[in-house]
Amino acid sequence: MDLLIPFLSLSAVTFGIGLYGLISKRNMLRMLLAAEVNFNAAMLALLTFAAASPGSGAATGGILALLAIGMAAADVGIMVSIAILMFHLKHKLDVYELEEFKG
Amino acid sequence: MSLSELAADPTVVTFFALAAVTIVSSILVIAHKSLVYSAFFLGVLGMANAALFALLGFTFVALFHVAVYIGAAVTFILFSITMFEEVPSVERPIRLIAALSAVLIFVLLVGTFTLYFNVPFQPGYIEYTELAKLLVERYWFALIIAALTLITTLIEAITLARLEEKK
């Protein structure tokens, strides 16, 4: 069975769910978790396209995926550090309060 | 291909089982009341995704995803969340707009992906030697930048954490 369509559709569904969470939540950590759902969906689409690529396209897609996973780990570290700092200062994780962190 | 033939194909059965786990865990990440459980279900989502990567032929990426993404990132989120008191979940009064955006992006993505539906798709095994050769010979600069980014992130995270102590 040609699984390209189901794989890409699954990626689209997961991305939609993540986007809903990203837009509808105000809690910083919940937004981070929603963004991570989006990341997983994007990775699935990337590797599906890589698997369908001819020649060395698959290996290149694999390398891109490895670098992307490393970057995702880095951005989680930054976001959680900001959340910890914000919680210590404000005892809240509401992103609307971030306005006061300017400058 | 008939339904019984599809059900006999182990790849198809595995895919649909993993797809179900992926969708349910994504919904639970977004909708679960407890942040700790949300982070736990993100780990489940990552595991299901890693299995899907392996199904696509990217076994090495699947292992890396489990080790680095779930083993480091998700576990880090999970342990950090336990440091916070459970704060009441505040939602923006734009659920309808969020739902419409999600549906719109789904339609848009499926519309874009339709262009590739006729592309022949045959997941296969990827040579690790080819992967390593490409990474070291052609993408060495990206590798160095990624390593530097990770080091910078580490320093930034420590600085942010110590900022509170100084205050």
Q: Do A19 and B81 touch (CB under 8 A)?
A: no
The residue of chain B nearest to residue A46, with distances taken between CA atoms, is B53
**Closest partner residue to A88 among B9, B143, B164, by Cβ?**
B164
Q: Do A59 and B127 touch (CB under 8 A)?
A: yes
In a domain, B99, yes or no: no
Enclosing domain of residue A83: 4-101
For residues B77 and B31, membership in a common domain is answered with yes
**Average of pLDDT values for B89-107?**
77
- Residue linked to tokens 């990426």: B61
For residues B38 and B83, membership in a common domain is answered with yes
Model confidence at B131: pLDDT above 60: yes
Average pLDDT over chain B reads 82
In a domain, B105, yes or no: no
Distance CA B18, CA B25 (A): 10
* pLDDT at residue A38, as a whole number: 94
Task: Give how many domains chain B has, as a whole number.
Answer: 2
CA distances from B138 to A25, B143, B147 (A): 41, 10, 16
For residues B17 and B70, membership in a common domain is answered with yes
- Quickly state the pLDDT bin for B65 (edges 50, 70, 90): very high
Q: pTM for the complete prediction?
A: 0.86
In a domain, B73, yes or no: yes
Model confidence at A44: pLDDT above 90: yes
For residues B68 and B23, membership in a common domain is answered with yes
CB A54 within 8 A of CB A61: no
CATH number for the domain that contains residue A90: 1.10.287.3510
**Closest partner residue to B30 among A9, A21, A60, by Cβ?**
A21
For residues B85 and B131, membership in a common domain is answered with no
For residues B8 and B85, membership in a common domain is answered with yes
Distance CA B163, CA A75 (A): 19
Distance CA A33, CA B35 (A): 9
Model confidence at A81: pLDDT above 60: yes
Task: Give how many domains chain A has, as a whole number.
Answer: 1
Enclosing domain of residue B40: 3-91
